[in-house]
Structure 1
Amino acid sequence: MARPGNTRRPTIRDVAAVAGVSHGTVSRVINGGHWVSPEARAAVDQAIRTTGYTVSHAARSLATGRANSVAFLLTEPQHLLFNDPTFALLLRGATEALAQRSMTLVLLVADAPVERANVESYVRAGHVDGVLLISSHESNPLLASLIAAGIPTVCTGVPLGDRAHVPTVSVDEEQSAREMTRYLIGRGYQRIAVITGPDDTPGGRHRLVGFREEMGDRFDPDLVEQDVYSSEAGAAAMTSLLERADDIDAVFAASDVMAVGAISALRRAGKRVPEDVAVAGFDDSGLAETTDPPLTTMRQPWSQISTMMVEMLLDVINGIPRESAVLPTTLVVRESA
């Protein structure tokens, strides 16, 4: 056993000696605690603290053939990682969920073709055990490549296009958009515009579908703008809408960052929010509470999404089939609408 002043790192055998169990029992505790009695587990945990033993992840990887890490893969331009708080919320939640399992999260960004090629090579080389795919575009071939390579993958949102089965954690985009649109109609707004995301993303496409279906005969295609999820895009879209229809009295922006941009454009045009034009968002990502005025929005359960994605991916890595999950959103009413 390691003693004070001894620089040798404690080993599993040291822990076993202190705990009074076999080194095989110590190994089982370290690797998940299967087939170990509560008494033996408690003795091993105490011995680990006493000896100062730490797990060698390199040795574990050699023994198990696992990297003991997973990738958080964002298929968007790098600046959106810092400009859109939804990604930071998911990153934090996934990191915390993996830390509880003594696993590491590797952040990968793959928007440009050269980035996609590098990421694909990295993942195929076994540096991670699986992938949390945080955004997906129908035109992006990376998901298909991951599936073809047999890389365990879980997605946020339901990918568009003809994809092989891959587990997903999502919200009901269409129904959520319908609920927000129904709320705006119920508040008496007549000329309701929508600013939504790219048509090759699940949110961009399905939130527009939900808005259009709930509007019914009120739907006006001239009151629709689609662009990337950014504040700048939201501002440009709002400006274009006002140029075509100055009588707009409400706008549903399909992300909070777009809504922030829309509010800035309305102010530049001399419009008050909500007195002249009401603004609603989607996400409740942290921006909504600090916006002036605070933003009415659809809240996504970010912590639950990231935790469930991690749990789902670890099951898939271990060969346990998982079904996709759809989580509820919540309408949060604030001063903007």
Structure 2
Amino acid sequence: MAGRRTGGRRSTIHDVAAEAGISRGTVSRVLNNEPYVSETARKAVQEAVAKVGYVRNAAARNLVTQRSRAIALIIHEPHSLVLDDPNIGNILIGTNAVLSGADYQLVTLMIDSQRDSDRVVEYLRGGFVDGAIVLSARTGDPISAAIAELRLPASMVGHPSDAPDIPYIGIDNKAAAEAIVTRLRETGRTRIGMLASGLDRDSGLDRLAGFTAALGDAFDPDLVVRHPFYSYAAGAEGMEQLLAREPSIDGLFAASDAVAAGAMDVLQRRGVRVPDDIGVIGFDDSSWALRCTPALSTVHQPAESLGREAAQQVLDQLAGADFERSLILPTQITWRASA
């Protein structure tokens, strides 16, 4: 029968036109959802598409439009931490919601090694995506350099100091950390330590800066334990170190809720009561905060909104629309029983 696919050959628009008994131009207008097509013709094309098994060749269309209709979400975190970080999941949900609504495909790329980084740089150079959203970019990150060189529409969640020309979305980590540590001090704590993580990126550095500012003259650098990652393990290991340095510590600021959860488990095993003996605060207001016993006082950051705004920032660049090159979203303190 005319137009029916045979021998594994991929059906073409010509097959659809032959099956429907109308011109190729009309078929094209229907497939592109253009106006000025009768309902009779539209129905005939839809039936012919189903009958011959026609599937649009996105690769061919992309060659013509020079667009892939795909946006990369680049996650610069160890694979072992990605699934345990609720913020990443919520950012991904917000990003996908906006891109899906604009008929763009989200492509997730994870970086856990130099090899991953090199591979992603070459992927970006290959033109496989129209834009990129970068999470957890570090200072000196080759991804940022590649985006700048390619002039790729992009948004960073966070703001590395050496990528000033790339648009970004973020929160005021310093002010938020200073506010919650100040509130912890107001509960009467005098020996407050910090488990500082992510100091190779702006979020970690700014949270440490906020902690330092809140303590003022009471700041003791010996009560700061540093770790590369925002992880439960960082909290557990760091709390052991802090207790060894200062057994009488009565306050703790953990740089993330996951870090706080690890620290609180150590305190519980040691018989140190929270909040009676030590007040504990975290950062993120993630699901980790509610897993803690008692529930964790923390800073709420709008992770899903960060993803939405980052995606919109990239779409605005692609459309040539005006947009905010830097956007800081509000945070709030969520005060619970741990402090």
TM category (shorter chain) comes to 0.7 to 0.9
Structure 1: distance between partners of 2:13 and 2:91: 36
| Per-residue CA distance 1:80-108 (angstroms, 9 max, x = gap) | 11122211111222122222222211111
| Per-residue deviation, residues 36-86 of structure 1 (Å, max 9, x unmatched) | 7xxx79x89x96997579865334323311111111101221111112221
1:266 match: secondary structure: helix
The answer to whether the 8 A contact 2:194-2:253 is kept is yes
- 1:16-31 matches, cutoff 5 A: none
Q: Give the equivalent residue in structure 2 for 1:207.
A: 207
Q: In structure 2, the residue corresponding to 1:94 is in which secondary structure?
A: helix
Describe the superposition over 1:186-229 as per-residue Cα deviations: whole angstroms up to 9, x where unpaired.
Answer: 22222111112132211110111111111111211111112121
| In structure 1, distance between residues paired with 2:276 and 2:12 | 68
Change in Cα spacing, 1:265 to 1:105, as seen in structure 2 (3 Å) is same
Aligned twin of 1:331: 333
Q: Which amino acid aligns with 1:120?
A: V
CA root-mean-square deviation: 3.1
Give the C-alpha shift of residue 24 in structure 1: 8.0
Map 1:97-108 → 2, pairs under 5 A: 97-108=98-109
Change (3 A) 1:179 1:26: farther
- 2:132 and 2:314 in contact (8 A); partners too: yes
* 1:83 counterpart SS class: coil
**Correspondence 1:215-254 to 2 at 5 A:** 215-227=215-227, 228-254=229-255
Distance 1:193 1:11 in 2: 68
TM-score by length of 2: 0.84
Please name the residue that 1:33 is paired with: none
8 A contact 1:136–1:201 mirrored in 2:
yes
8 Å contact kept, 1:282–1:297:
yes
Residues 72 and 6 from structure 1, CA distance in 2 versus in 1: closer, same or farther, beyond 3 angstroms? Answer: same
The percentage of aligned residue pairs carrying the same residue is: 33
Q: Identify the residue that residue 257 of structure 2 maps to in structure 1.
A: 256
1:320 Cα deviation after fit: 3.5
Residue number in structure 2 paired with 1:174: 174
Deviation per CA, 1:239-267, whole angstroms, max 9, x where unpaired? 11111111111111111110111111112
Are residue 196 (structure 1) and residue 163 (structure 2) matched? no
TM-score relative to the length of structure 1: 0.84
> How many Å separate the matches in 1 of 2:292 and 2:62?
46
Letter in 2 for 1:177: A
| 1:76 aligned counterpart, secondary structure | coil
Partner of 2:97: 96
Amino acid of the structure 1 residue aligned with 2:335: V
Q: Look up the SS of the partner of 1:71 in the other structure.
A: strand
Runs in 1 of length 4+ with deviation above 4 angstroms?
A: 5-14, 21-30, 46-56
Q: How many residues align?
A: 322
- Cα separation, partners in 2 of 1:11 and 1:97, compared to 1, 3 Å: farther
What is the rounded CA distance, in whole Å, between the counterparts of 1:211 and 1:133 in structure 2?
26
CA contact (8 A) 1:288 1:295 kept: yes
Which residue of 2 is the match for residue 186 of structure 1? Answer: 186
Structure 1 gap ranges (5+): 31-35
